[in-house]
Structure 1
């Protein structure tokens, strides 16, 4: 990395830290605003302290409140910006992939306000989705105010989004992994350092503006036995299949709303009626529900209540999200996964009392593996559970369960809950983070395999004055960069031993040839592996036949 690039990295890092400071304050404001709207709607008091909407005494009137909130959000989306609809992360991903990470500045204040109205009136969402979307919008806005590249703007967008998550939960490592897995689609110093600094700043904001300690406190967990590890991994498999069904149902409901003969502005209000009706029969489904997650992780919630919370929270959230209101996915997924894991753990204890598993551990791996299966944010899921609870003995069970859930999702579901919406619009989301082939291959690796050295040259001196200098040991990435900036179809390559001798002519065809060699190497490795497997099978078959003859 050149000195100029390092200076740019420092500038982007300082901008990312600035965004993180601002988004930490906005995160506190959002939480207080949610509490205020909740207290006004359900208790008629102008108060910013936390009170669960589940304790309300409104009777049937509770059905109307989420519908009113949905109607207000529909009007804000119609006259403000349609981009406030949805759960935030897919919309940010779409802007990163298709619009040079440009998000309308209005989203930075419309999203938190609309989300506070929805959640405060009973919407079954958490504060983390809206603050991630708000942080991304703020980062993108800052990036548009300065003369920076689209990739640098992407980094600031990701820094703002993940700093918001870190400010809400105090989980900076998980926030960095979220940026890598769902927003950056790369792993490099110029991307990771600004994001990491922003997430650290967000975590400091959490300590200052919220509280210290784990955001989801739970009883201390013991190190599991091998039998318990196997059971936890099996629970992860079951949760993986549940995450498949959950994702499909959410988008099926969205398709149903698309068929309604009504303007989309009315959909959130219709979804709000369903949310209110479900909340009337199951009040714990209303609102953020972080207290529900803590209760489930305690391992002391009755089975009947867990069954009710799991089913009705999912139904309420799926309808609300499918209606296109302003909400998020993380908190509902954690609630649904945690209750599902605790239910499975209870059943295992009931039929196998000597299994050695813990209900609290089963709930923790349930909520983490649900997020891993639904979003395929594998590392984010594991580190979030560890940071949010500070339970180090949960590491191995989390690895087993999240890996199992991830495998089920990978093999049985083409898109995730985060990518399905944008995939339907024809937008491809990267699913692997391989190093740049052109950085690993030098010019000398492709010389003589498509390059030419002939009469196209004049004098060496003239070429050195009019062409950028390439050496045979330079990486192809440098050659491509110089080729693009010089507006030439080809560039001379000078030898490493004799710097005055032109040994080849580098063209765009050499770049294509490099990619061809890379793919041929991978294909050949696959063929060789297949041949080895075939030979091994033949050897085993021959030995079996020989054994039968000897008998």
Structure 2
């Protein structure tokens, strides 16, 4: 049979060993080891830590460039020393110039870098297998740094979450890890970014578990802890081991204060939901008003933002110095409320015009203003009971964030780590739980999920194609074609193969056990040989193609199907003895598009 020796039959095992013969790369062997995930988590954490250093440096650099100061929010409307002749009016021009730089960058290279970033990561984990475009990390870092540096009233946690997550996804794609680990590496990137940026390793872990993964498991906890610790070590080497916010110590001085903190939690939940609604109302208004190209939208909208900054320069950038001053009692009640409203408007406008930045820091700012004003009023009404207004500011920070995000564990942990104030933990927990409950009563969505629902995406229900990832081969396989007997004649097999849709048929023995497949090509080549050199039975030409089993995940089976040379693969029982079905490219595509599979009647 020289013909068969010279040209291996299509769809036969002669081709299949090419899949097994290709040795796995060193990276694939490393990642497949039991400890491979741990090494990948450390690598992602290191990347997120270095990325956070670079990102914070970019923000500082651009803020100096656009305002002449490290943080203009506390400068009180001073002039930019680079352009002193403009006076305080430079804040009108700065957002326009910044938007002119990052607008085309986002529009051209990574549209998902627009906005606050966390919803895109949540979507990638929930419905896209953790896949994030690699260029997002670079584009997001530059766009967000330009936006914040030029006066955008947004935070840096959303960008660093997206940056770290993109790094994790890129590493997972390079290492060719399965989807489950890809999602976990994305969460590791988010945890590392939060940990390094805010010196909050525990908060990074719980942020990833509660908001990004939406689930808790020992494997996920271990991986995110490793990434978070690694990123924190790198971040502390660069920024020092200090609490992110420097606040005076607070104490609960009277039991009646717990009632005041509980009421603050309810109010903060309402404010958190209100912030969410206003954010998207203003974004809708910007969508309705703008008719020009998207790349020009941040520059044009920057004029409006600049006018807000001219009236209230405390809204420039993230605004942590203003937040600290409010917690220390540096503002009167009326100005605190003005700062609260101003931050809601400035942040919503920054996002609405196409800016890039997070909403976590603004929610802390809003909560601090609310809590400080609330504490000041309580102090006037009940001077002997209420205590210092600073404690209410701290509790308000966590409660408004919880009301907006509905992530109570993250809110408690992150406020403790950001401030180092353990003495306020009990009222903080009380207010955060009540804020979360109030938010749930008032709104179905959080500040993160509402952005996705407005695009028709519900993270709590599968995507149109998501069932593909949860199906097994048994749910989509086709009825098996009439098999050939291993002791049948080749001429009979040739007649049956001519009428076959796939050019290949399964072969079984006398007991119905699967033997292999026979292709039309193999029979045609065999029949061209001399009669005395020709195999006499079908079983002599049957090839043991890669096989699938009914309990195999469809996503895994699809990889085997597309790397095989034939047009279909046999589906066996879990014991790999009896033929039960047939998986073709068409049946896999039908499953991908959500079509109802053809019912399969098992062979007798």
TM normalised by structure 2 equals 0.69
Alignment equivalent of 1:334, drawn from 354, 357, 364: 364
Whole-angstrom distance in 2 between the partners of 1:88 and 1:113: 13
Q: Is the 8 A contact 1:219 1:298 kept in 2?
A: yes
Confirm or deny that 1:347 pairs with 2:388.
no
Q: CA deviation at 1:34?
A: 1.2
Q: CA deviation at 1:227?
A: 1.0
Q: CA deviation at 1:414?
A: 0.9
SS of the residue aligned with 2:126?
helix
Confirm or deny that 1:38 pairs with 2:46.
no
Q: CA deviation at 1:7?
A: 6.4
Structure 1 residues without counterparts, runs of 5 or longer: 432-460, 467-478, 493-551
Distance 1:224 1:172, change over 3 A: farther
More deviation, 400-409/218-227: 218-227
Q: CA deviation at 1:309?
A: 1.7
Confirm or deny that 1:306 pairs with 2:331.
no
Which residue number corresponds to residue 291 of structure 1? 321
Which residue number corresponds to residue 267 of structure 1? 297
Q: CA deviation at 1:32?
A: 1.7
SS of the residue aligned with 2:331?
coil
Alignment equivalent of 1:227, drawn from 256, 265, 271: 256
Q: Is the 8 A contact 1:67 1:268 kept in 2?
A: yes
CA deviation map 1:136-163 (0-9, x unaligned):
1111111111121111011111111120
Which residue number corresponds to residue 232 of structure 2? 203
Within-5 A mapping of 1:31-70: 31-43=56-68, 52=73, 54-55=75-76, 56-57=78-79, 58-70=87-99
Q: Is the 8 A contact 1:53 1:122 kept in 2?
A: no
Q: Is the 8 A contact 1:235 1:341 kept in 2?
A: yes
Confirm or deny that 1:27 pairs with 2:57.
no
Which residue number corresponds to residue 38 of structure 2? 13
Distance 1:66 1:278, change over 3 A: same
Which residue number corresponds to residue 192 of structure 1? 221
Q: Is the 8 A contact 2:205 2:221 kept in 1?
A: yes
Within-5 A mapping of 1:102-501: 102-259=131-288, 260-430=290-460
Which residue number corresponds to residue 504 of structure 1? none
Q: CA deviation at 1:323?
A: 2.0
Which residue number corresponds to residue 474 of structure 1? none
Q: CA deviation at 1:325?
A: 1.3
Structure showing the higher helix proportion among its residues: 1
CA deviation map 1:310-351 (0-9, x unaligned):
121221111111222111111111101111111111111111
SS of the residue aligned with 2:75?
helix
Whole-angstrom distance in 2 between the partners of 1:8 and 1:80: 35
SS of the residue aligned with 2:247?
coil
More deviation, 256-265/333-342: 256-265
RMSD: 2.8
Q: Is the 8 A contact 1:38 1:53 kept in 2?
A: no
Distance 1:343 1:265, change over 3 A: same
Q: CA deviation at 1:180?
A: 1.1
Structure 2 residues without counterparts, runs of 5 or longer: 1-28, 80-86, 462-510, 517-548, 558-569, 576-604
Q: Is the 8 A contact 1:53 1:287 kept in 2?
A: no
Q: CA deviation at 1:225?
A: 3.1
CA deviation map 1:228-286 (0-9, x unaligned):
01110100101111111111111111111222322322322233222211111111110
Whole-angstrom distance in 2 between the partners of 1:127 and 1:229: 32
More deviation, 122-131/49-58: 49-58
Q: Which has the larger radius of gyration?
A: 2
CA deviation map 1:415-457 (0-9, x unaligned):
11100111223322249xxxxxxxxxxxxxxxxxxxxxxxxxx
More deviation, 10-19/481-490: 481-490
TM normalised by structure 1 equals 0.76
Whole-angstrom distance in 2 between the partners of 1:480 and 1:158: 32
CA deviation map 1:153-203 (0-9, x unaligned):
111111111201110111111111111111112211221211111111122
Q: Is the 8 A contact 2:165 2:189 kept in 1?
A: yes
Whole-angstrom distance in 2 between the partners of 1:62 and 1:50: 13
Whole-angstrom distance in 2 between the partners of 1:406 and 1:8: 41
Confirm or deny that 1:89 pairs with 2:118.
yes
Q: Is the 8 A contact 2:73 2:317 kept in 1?
A: yes
SS of the residue aligned with 1:226?
coil
Q: Is the 8 A contact 1:250 1:318 kept in 2?
A: yes
